[in-house]
Amino acid sequence: MAESGARTVKAPEFGQTLRGDSWWAETIPVVLLLGGFGLYATLRAFEGRFYEWGPYLSPFYSPLIDEHHRWWKLSPALLILGGPLGFRATCYYYRKAYYRAFFQDPPACAVSEWKRTYKGETRFPFVLQNIHRYFLYFAIIFLFFLWKDVFQAFNFDGKFGMGVGTLVLLVNIILLTTYTLSCHSLRHLAGGKLDCFSCATFGKPRYKVWHWLSILNERHMWFAWMSLISVGLADFYIRLVASGAIQDARIF
Amino acid sequence: MAEALLKVFRGNKDGGQSVEFKVPVAPGMVVLDALHYIQGHLAPDLAVRWNCKAGKCGSCSAEVNGRPRLTCKTRMDSLPQNEPITVIPLKTFPVIKDLVTDVSWNYKVNKKIPPFTPKPGASWKFYQDDVDRVQEFRKCIECFLCQNVCHVLRDHDKYDQFGGPRFFVRVAGLDMHPMDGVSRTKLLKNDLGIGLCNITKCCTEVCPEDIHITDNAIIPLKERVVDEFYDPVLWIVREIRGARET
């Protein structure tokens, strides 16, 4: 064990560092984007209206459960948002982002943090990060519903068509799909858990899948942000159209 | 010739201070060159650990302008020209003298890890696909910059509960080897404290060998720990299989 008392040049106070760059700046977009999205999503989840128009259904409300409030009196979004919220909250990329930006744990690399009892992800609530793969399973189920919504968005009163909302939902589902496919847990389950691909049953196809998922996984951060922005914008667009603030433009 | 002002830590385990040195800067010069100039012309007793000066031995780790780096791979012209350059020893380990720290704690952690243990009766026939992953981990030069920057050690002093990124890379290289027959998952959870890592990726950011420590070693190992200790479905599957086999 190292003798901590001998570390003569250790910075003792929060934020102390010899770094001369603007290390604090990297947390600003995370706080703004994650905080802003959290606030918007909460408001929209409780709003309980302006979530569908014509063939469009907001991704915040899909799958739509008990739309007519037979047994659930609150907003239907509250019945389903736990799935995608849990998937993002336990995501390995977002963990890095919010541990740094919101918990300042650490605020940045080689920048001192507050002295406090640190348990990492070994105790409640953060030990629950270990069930990320179960949220992944939910996310995959949600993807089926969201793809169904996109196909539905091409159906204008029984006729094939496309509006701006269709494109918005299409881009959104592509980004959500790539974000889900680039998940670290999926990469592990698909093949990463194997020690020997050539020795395992279906080892070769699993290696191929693991290899392709690994390529996506390298861009997991990008997909995480893009899909977060797209899902927020998709809901916002449908809200604008459903509330009558704007009109959906038909492309054909 | 242009000059750079270096503020270099001078001291030992009882304390010390930064001392200023003016060093002439030549094209292509790295921070280790500047430290050698100080040794050769200004302070012959300056203690600096180095060996290859080619970014392969991992000896010359220090903190340059607050960032953990190899001094032999940090070019002087990559640093702000008109400001003093601070060079201090690795903060996470005890100072022996000046820029030399005692990193022996790492070797004690290393001893906890069961070495490569071939599967009984292994045929020693495997394919490139099987070893793609572990080859990345073999690039580690044990510079301990990842250990130094990891906040679990640096800020929270978890030396007795945590192994650190370097040893997660080592375990990954062993556990993912197709011919290795030992599971180190329990060791990871209990002795190396992988749960203390909150994957903030600083280790990956400082790695001079560009090993994707977090994405390719730590997270896959965390997933293996989940397989064995936190996934209830896999636990039931194991119980059923175990019951069938007995």
B136/chain A closest Cα distance in angstroms:
14
Q: Which chain B residue's Cα is nearest to A112?
A: B155
Q: Which chain B residue's Cα is nearest to A219?
A: B215
Query: Would you list the domain boundaries of chain A?
Result: 25-182+219-242
In order, the DSSP letters of B47-83 are: ----S-SSSSS---EEEETTEEEEGGG-BGGGS-TTS
Q: Which chain A residue's Cα is nearest to B217?
A: A192
Instruction: Report A:9-38 residues touching B (Cβ under 8 A).
Output: 9-11, 17-20
pLDDT attached to residue B125: 84
Q: Please name the residue ranges forming H helices in chain A.
A: 27-47, 77-80, 82-89, 92-101, 132-152, 164-181, 184-187, 203-217, 220-242
- Residues B196, A7: C-beta atoms closer than 8 Å: no
pLDDT attached to residue B245: 59
Report whether pLDDT(A189) > 50: yes
Higher pLDDT: A144 or A5? It is A144
Residue B34 identity = A
ipTM given for this complex: 0.92
Name the band, by pLDDT with cuts 50, 70 and 90, for residue B103: very high
Distance between CA B8 and CA B17 in Å, rounded?
Answer: 8
Using left for φ > 0, alpha for ψ between -120 and 50, and beta otherwise, residue B42 falls in alpha
In angstroms, the first-to-last Cα distance of chain A is: 70
B134/chain A closest Cα distance in angstroms:
10
Spatial CA neighbour of B174 closest among B216, B207, B137, B222:
B137
β partners of residue B101 = B95
pLDDT attached to residue A161: 96
Give the helix/strand (H/E) hosting B17: strand B15-24
Report whether pLDDT(A1) > 70: no
Query: Mean pLDDT score of chain A, rounded to an integer?
Result: 93
pLDDT attached to residue A11: 45
Contact between A111 and B67 under an 8 Å Cβ cutoff? The reply is no
pLDDT tens digits along A134-162: 999 999 999 999 999 999 999 999 999 99
What DSSP character marks residue A127?
A: G
B14/chain A closest Cα distance in angstroms:
7
pLDDT tens digits along B120-158: 888 888 899 999 999 999 999 999 999 999 999 999 999
Residue limits of CATH 1.10.1060.10 in chain B: 104-245
pTM summary value: 0.94
pLDDT attached to residue B122: 80
Tokens linked to A177: 């799909």
pLDDT attached to residue B246: 54
pLDDT tens digits along B229-245: 999 999 999 999 887 65
CATH 3.30.1330.10 holds for B104-245: no
| Residue of A30, A109, A214 best to disrupt the B interface, most CBs of B under 10 A | A109
CATH of domain B3-101: 3.10.20.30
Distance between CA A226 and CA A214 in Å, rounded?
Answer: 18
Query: Which of A23-27, A35-39, A148-152, B20-24 is least confident?
Result: A23-27
Sign of CA dihedral B1, B4, B5, B7: negative
Residue limits of CATH 3.10.20.30 in chain B: 3-101
- Residues B80, A195: C-beta atoms closer than 8 Å: no
Q: Which chain B residue's Cα is nearest to A8?
A: B15
Report whether pLDDT(A8) > 70: no
A139/chain B closest Cα distance in angstroms:
17
Contact between B94 and A3 under an 8 Å Cβ cutoff? The reply is yes
Residue B229 identity = F
Residues of chain A contacting residue B124, judged by C-beta atoms under 8 Å apart? none
Query: Which of A69-73, B141-145, B163-167 is least confident?
Result: A69-73
Instruction: Report A:128-147 residues touching B (Cβ under 8 A).
Output: 130-133
